[in-house]
Amino acid sequence: MTPVAAARERILVIEDEPDIREVVEFNLRREGFRVSGAETAEEGLEKVQSEFPDAILLDIMLPGMSGLELCALLKSDPDLRAIPVIMVTAKDDAEDVIAGLEAGADDYISKPFSPRVLIARVKAVVRRGTWDAEQLRGDRLLADGVVIDSSSHRVTVEGQDVEVTATEFRLLHYLATNRGRVFTRNHLLTRVMGESATLVDRNIDVHVGAIRRKLGKSRSLLETVRGVGYRFRDSPSPSQS
């Protein structure tokens, strides 16, 4: 793969293990990214504030402040929260993944990871902003034959109106506007359903199931992330990118 012209974004790698950091930095540079590294969360925070990177790869297990603490700190700062954070978690540790997402991480990658997966994740979070903007036309979100219109609260699939409940609309709209981001059930429950959710409303799986049935052929837009939660697919087709 040749580095594309747009891939001049700066990526900050916060990782205390020098070997891993070196490999990650090498692979990112080879793709044309500008890269800086930090060994601790504290050093990372200074670099975030001085360099304002386009994305951050953040290890969870760090000496001193943990990756989770730093992530929560960044996501509570209005000036920094827009910077995508990819959490680096231990292999198959769903608890770490959930904790990372609840701290506000935009995505995660599990150790050990292949350079290919690493580059794909970084490109996805960096590109997401652009892709979202292209897909957003006024109040209408478009994706694979599905139109989600927030002004009329209507959903159409291949031009056909689809009846959705108010709860289903909120859930679908929230996932679609945050395309590619994985959300835990708990996050969706508190952020989408809110405090007023009745007992009937509280089963996210039931709502997602109902939305999928209504989306028909486009059902694969709503992806289940095993052991974690749900996301709206972030590329036009799963076979691409």
The residues of the shown chain that bind Ca ion, judged by CB under 5 A, are: 16, 59, 61
- Helix or strand (DSSP H, E) at 98: helix 94-102
Least distance to Ca ion, CB of residue 87, Å: 12
Closest to Ca ion by CB, 17 or 144: 17
Residue 13 has phi, psi (to 5 degrees) of: -110, 115
CB of 20 to Ca ion, least distance (A): 8
61/142 with CB nearer Ca ion? 61
- Backbone torsions φ then ψ of 75, nearest 5 degrees: -75, -10
Which of 7/48 has CB closer to Ca ion? Answer: 48
Long-range contacts of 68-73 (CB under 8 A, 24+ apart): 68/99, 68/100, 68/103, 69/41, 69/103, 70/14, 70/41, 70/44, 70/45, 71/100, 71/103, 71/104, 71/105, 72/103, 72/104, 73/45
Q: What is the DSSP letter of 189?
A: I
Q: How far is the CB of 186 from Ca ion (least distance, A)?
A: 26
Look at strands 154-157 and 160-162 and give their pairing: antiparallel
Closest residue (Cβ) to Ca ion?
61
Tell me whether residue 16 or residue 132 sits nearer to Ca ion (CB atom): 16
Least distance CB 33 / Ca ion (angstroms): 21
CB of 126 to Ca ion, least distance (A): 23
Residue whose CB is less far from Ca ion, 54 or 96: 96
Distance CA 88, CA 105 (A): 10
Chain centre to alpha carbon of residue 146: 21
Query: Which CB, 59 or 201, lies closer to Ca ion?
Result: 59
- How many other CB atoms sit within 10 Å of the CB of residue 227? 11
User: Least distance to Ca ion from the beta carbon of 62, Å?
Assistant: 6
Instruction: Report the C-alpha gap between 236 and 234 in whole angstroms.
Output: 7
